[in-house]
Amino acid sequence: MFMRITLVVLIVSITPLYAIRPGQTKKYRVWEGNTDRHYTSKNGLRAFTIWVGDDQTVVEAQWHEEVRGGYKWVLRGKARISGKHRRFSRTVYLRSRENFRLTVKGIRSSRGKRKICYYWIRCVDNPSPGVSMYNSKNLQDLRTWFKAGPYQYWYWGGCATWVMANPLDKQIFLFDGYVSKATIGGVRNFDYVKVERKRVARLVNLLRHFIGRGYKVESILTSHKHGDHLGDIPYILGGIKATTDSDFMRTGIALTGKAQKAKVSIVMSYDASFDPYYGKSGYDSNYLKPTRNDISMPTFHDRYTNAYNPRFSQINGQRFSVGTAYRFGKVMIRSYIWDHGNIADGGPGSRGGLRTLAYRITRVDGQKAASVFFTSGFCEDISFVSTLLLKFISCHHIILAWNGHEQTAQAAKVVNLLDHSPVKYNYIFANHTDNNSNPGGMTDERDEVIDMFGMLIEKGIIASDHGTITSRIKWLGQNRQVRLGAFSNRVGVD
């Protein structure tokens, strides 16, 4: 006798059940000591308001934002709510694929309610009437480049890589060097595929195009030792120097423009110069990894001792500020510490902080000298951020590496945003996007810059109508005209 066994497979969706949607107000109850979770739908701005209906009920609320496609949740605020009609709200600026979660814990119920805490929630869409977060005139899609002034044209290469062209003095500066978006393994060995190598070839040909028009590639200025900042530099440098028009990196793309004979300066932090993993030779004979003799490593000023520390100096616990300035003709590029904080660099004196460089770029003769402050490393170490006591970086435009961390927003308090000639608007960009090397990816420039704008409001750096993007804002209490910049294309789009 055979017994027939029927196997029933239940398919359970792991998509959150959105307990409340924009425009709804609902009453809920939670037992003392228990916790409820409420999710809202994706896209745009969301505000959860929560209140209790009498003077005895007490609940504890926490607002969380999902970041990096569910990779982690970030606490955006918390409050203990007690007393009739006492309300708390929290607005979060969501990326298009992420959620906002409200967690409510019952602390104390009303008399006679059997240990049940009753509370109300309202969820609202919160842009001001007539303001579109993605089409506002103050959120400008700049395609692949923007003009920071008559001598600074910034081209976005992808991820954290930018080309700054100076048409007045015929100069090119490359900030970081990773456009391939090659998948990075545990040892960051860059196993390129053909489509990724093509991105490098297109960037090289852009640089050679400028060289053919009389420009000189003055310097490659890097931030830190991670592969998604250094990975393509040996090919970029080799492609600039190549004298033949052979199939570059075996992509089917021939080199065009002109080769550069003059030396290209390389600026790296001390730890970056020792990274053995960036680049992977074998795809082209023009692979050219710079030697340590070709690399300049900045030293940094300790504002307490008024002395320059050696390059081995630790970051955490020290009040570092400005570092070595590099002058290329009339262009001055000043280095700054911008502590990554998410990985130990292993260098002498290090206590877990990764030495990361930021830069301020300006022209020194004062003639229409707009300035840009550029970071391509996230500022993630709270002990370092706590040392940034004074505003000491003045600029007209900010290109800020953004990852949703509150510490990165807090670090922006060191920036004094200038409001005078030669610029009409102060542009703010979210940098380090379009990057396959990070878990969850960061792919939408517009989402990133809106998220950054929102966090800057949350941290009190920007004062504006909450939830709106307007040109007239207060930056650290000073009136400024700001536009958010976003890019729809990288240089050499696929």
Nearest to 174 by CA among 354, 374, 340: 374
Residue type, 231: G
Sign of the C-alpha dihedral, residues 185, 189, 191, 197?
positive
Between the alpha carbon of residue 429 and those of residues 70, 138, 220, the distances in Å are 24, 12, 20
- Per-residue pLDDT tens digits of the chain, which is 494 residues long: 444 444 444 433 343 444 677 778 889 999 999 999 988 766 666 778 889 988 899 999 988 877 655 567 877 677 888 887 777 776 666 655 667 888 999 999 987 768 999 999 888 765 443 334 444 667 777 878 888 888 899 999 888 899 999 999 999 999 999 888 776 544 455 567 777 888 899 999 999 999 999 999 999 999 888 888 888 899 999 999 999 888 899 888 999 999 999 999 999 887 777 776 666 677 888 889 888 888 888 877 655 444 444 343 444 434 456 788 999 999 999 988 887 764 444 333 333 445 688 999 998 876 668 899 999 888 876 666 766 655 578 999 999 998 777 788 888 988 999 987 778 889 999 888 776 544 333 446 776 787 788 778 777 888 866 556 677 888 998 999 888 888 878 776 55
β-pairing, 161-166 vs 152-158, is antiparallel
pLDDT of 142:
80
Q: Which domains does the chain have, with CATH numbers?
A: 25-125 (2.60.120.510), 139-486 (3.60.15)
Nearest to 469 by CA among 151, 140, 21, 210: 140
Q: What is the pTM of this model?
A: 0.74
pLDDT of 257:
94
CB 359 within 8 A of CB 268: no
* 3-state SS assignment for residue 137: coil
Q: Which residues, including other chains, have CB under 8 Å from residue 115's CB and lie 6 or more apart?
A: 31, 32, 106, 109
Task: Tally DSSP H helices, then E strands, for the chain.
Answer: 6, 29
β-pairing, 307-309 vs 161-166, is unpaired
| Residues shown for the chain | 494
CB 67 within 8 A of CB 96: no
pLDDT of 336:
85
How is residue 137 written in tokens?
């005139």
Cβ-defined contacts of 129-138 (< 8 Å, 24+) = 131/468, 131/469, 131/470, 133/44, 133/45, 133/450, 133/469, 134/446, 134/450, 136/469, 137/471, 138/469, 138/470, 138/471, 138/482, 138/483, 138/484
CA-CA distance, 36 to 75, in Å (whole number)? 16
Nearest to 262 by CA among 214, 192, 317: 214
pLDDT of 136:
60
How is residue 40 written in tokens?
């809202």
Residue type, 289: K
Angle CA(490)–CA(234)–CA(372) in degrees, nearest 5? Answer: 50
Burial 232-246 (b: 16+ CB within 10 A, else e): bbbbbbbbbbbeeee
Sign of the C-alpha dihedral, residues 71, 339, 394, 369?
negative
422: cis peptide before it, omega within 30°?
Answer: yes
How is residue 263 written in tokens?
């030396």
DSSP 60: E
How is residue 428 written in tokens?
């703010």
How is residue 231 written in tokens?
């990975």
**Counting Cβ atoms within 10 Å, is residue 138 exposed (0-12), middle (13-18) or buried (19+)?**
middle
Sign of the C-alpha dihedral, residues 106, 108, 111, 114?
positive
